[in-house]
Amino acid sequence: MLAASVIAGCNETNKKAAEPEQKKEATPENLNKTGFPIVTKPITLKMMGAKTANQLIWGEMAFFKEMAKQTNINFEFDTPAVESYKEKLRLKFASGSLPDVLFGANLLPEDEILFGSQGQLIPLEKLIANYAPNLQKLLADYPDIRRNITTPDGHIYSLPFVDTPGAFGVYPKLWINESWLTALNLPMPKTTDDLITVLRAFKNDDPNKNGKQDEIPMSFHLVAGTGIPDIQSILLNAFGFTGNLTIDRDKVRFAPYEPEYKAYLSFMNRLYAEGLLDKEGYSQTVQQKNAKGNGNRIGVLAAGGPFQVVGNNLDKDYSILPPLTSALNEKPFAIRNNYLTKGTFAITSSNPNPEATIRWVDYLYSKEGAILAAQGVEGKHFEYIDNKQGLKALVPEGANPAEFRGTISPNAGIFIPRIHEPVSKLNEYKLQETNPLNYHIATESKKKLEPIARDSYPLTYFTLEELQQLKVLETDITTYISEMSGKFIVGDASLDNKWNEYVAMLEKMKVKQYVELYQKAYDRWKSASK
């Protein structure tokens, strides 16, 4: 949760950061302030980013080649595998031997604050005001973006990926096998009690019609690095939480410390005890869960789209399980995650051409630049259809679509700095024909989730002092919660006998101080919008 950290700073600081600099500065001799090429004489900079397995060598990607042709800016690439990237990046910061540019940087908020305060990442707001008109307009049109990427000292040290607000990807989803409901003549569940009734029928009444009691009413796996079931954040909605951190009338509530969390654990324990929850969930891999899904054995699951778990052929059998209510929460709501992904781009103190670099990345916040970064070159990687209302990817016959995208840009596999709305509009044109799997997700989300969505805890920053306090508190608190929640759910610890002891231990671990840090951070973030 540290990655969700806080504070866009006080009003006055943000006001100063938001205002363009009044002082006129001389344009560097080799820089063209508008148009292409960006620099008259070619330059070469050093770029570092994380490479995924399905990506081509970055220097051979169409995006970088086309950008070099247009801008006269070339790069030498350092692209460790995504699994080792963070470790190697931190070694770069520790040694002071920095690349000029971090692209697809995956910087955590604490990275921005620490390395920004040390001068290893340079502030970008002045460069944006003077040389990046697309970014400047974006921040002016959407003040929330500015406050979400402004650190406590009033500076912007990294740039975000900006998704389409309300895109179906921002909603966590539970999917239910509606063909099983139909086979058993069951209504769609509306409450947690209804869900128990349906899961019992899934377990006992052979909805997949294979003559075996092999159905798994609800399956899950643990989210990597958290020990938390992937179904938890969505099921918590039924008990009044938007996740572990919930804003209720401007007050931060920490779900695992609240009485309603006990009700959630009791519900989950009931599912587990009755065999309605996958007994292998706490130990299985994503691949093992997916194998069960492809075998038509899972009734309810969490996924961006059901095909990710059950395969393309069974995808149509699943629909979104509408948000549930319970005795503790009578009004259903869905979670809407933030549409920004922070920390995707930064310029280091080693960069000799920051003005040219900010102009280079600013192009990706234009329609044309965003399309190039996401789809490649027109005529080679895609073609427009119906008077540029949509597009069609020109995937070579027999080629894997994911591998094809990996030849275009790092956009295939990691978040890179750009806007997404121009791309999503093109991709969503005639979506039912061009991508029926995504069309299924989009229509279900728009109908069942969007109208009742609530924002999750906002994207914020902590101060350096707060970060130091959190590092002391967080590991013990989150590890203990994960351990005890698992024990409560599988019945290794009794909620009736151990709940008070669990709460007392959290208090001994200074959970109130922990929540107060998030409250202070939220208050400052909130005040920054006034």
pLDDT recorded at residue 17: 41
**Same domain for 302 and 252:** yes
Question: What are φ and ψ of residue 428, in 5° steps?
Answer: -85, -10
Which residues are registered as beta bridge partners of 345? Answer: 103, 159
**Same domain for 235 and 192:** yes
**Same domain for 220 and 145:** no
Residue 443 located in a structural domain: no
- Outline where DSSP puts E strands in 199-278: 216-218, 222-223, 228-229, 245-248, 251-254
pLDDT recorded at residue 530: 57
* Domain end marker among 291, 309, 336: 336
**Same domain for 314 and 231:** yes
What does the CA dihedral 141, 145, 149, 152 come to, rounded to 10 degrees? 80
**Same domain for 183 and 311:** yes
pLDDT recorded at residue 529: 64
Residue 11 located in a structural domain: no
Query: At 381, which helix (H) or strand (E)?
Result: none
**Same domain for 502 and 479:** yes
Judged by DSSP in three states, 522 sits in: helix
**Same domain for 192 and 322:** yes
Residue 34 located in a structural domain: no
Residue 14 located in a structural domain: no
**Same domain for 495 and 388:** no
pLDDT recorded at residue 364: 98
Residue 431 located in a structural domain: no
Residue 353 located in a structural domain: yes
Counting Cα atoms < 13 Å in the Cβ hemisphere of 56 gives 16
Separation between Cα atoms, residue 344 and residue 225, nearest integer Å? 21
Q: Look up the domain containing 478 and give its range.
A: 464-527
Tally of domains in the chain: 3
- CATH number, residue 124: 3.40.190.10
DSSP 8-state code for residue 118 = T
Model pTM score: 0.82
Residue 33 located in a structural domain: no
Which residue bears the tokens 């096998």? 177
Which residue bears the tokens 């969503």? 428
* Domain end marker among 277, 306, 336: 336
Angle between helices 367-375 and 62-71 (to 10 degrees): 150
Residue 451 located in a structural domain: no
**Same domain for 127 and 96:** yes
**Same domain for 129 and 193:** no
The DSSP line for 185-251 is: T-PPP-BHHHHHHHHHHHHHS-TT-SSS---EEE---EETTTTEETTHHHHGGGGT-SSSEEEETTE
Q: Which residues contact 525 (CB under 8 A, 6 or more apart)?
A: 6, 7, 8, 147, 458, 460
Whether the CB-CB separation of 229 and 289 falls below 8 Å is answered with no
**Torsion sign, CA atoms 262, 264, 267, 271:** negative
**Same domain for 320 and 185:** yes
* Domain end marker among 278, 302, 336: 336
Rg (CA), the chain: 25
Nearest to 412 by CA among 403, 424, 422, 421: 403
**Same domain for 219 and 98:** no
Chain centroid to CA 5: 14
Whether the CB-CB separation of 291 and 308 falls below 8 Å is answered with no
- Give pLDDT tens digits along the chain (530 positions): 333 433 333 333 343 344 444 455 688 999 999 999 999 999 999 999 999 888 889 999 999 999 999 999 999 999 999 889 999 999 999 999 999 999 999 999 999 999 999 999 999 999 999 999 999 999 999 998 999 999 999 999 999 999 988 789 899 999 999 999 999 999 999 999 999 999 999 999 999 999 999 999 999 999 877 889 999 999 999 999 999 999 999 999 999 999 999 999 999 999 999 999 999 999 999 999 999 999 999 999 999 999 999 999 999 999 999 999 999 999 999 999 999 999 999 999 999 999 999 999 999 999 999 999 999 999 999 999 999 999 999 999 888 787 899 999 999 889 999 999 999 999 999 999 888 999 999 999 999 999 999 999 999 999 989 999 999 999 999 999 999 999 999 999 999 999 999 999 999 999 999 999 999 999 988 887 65
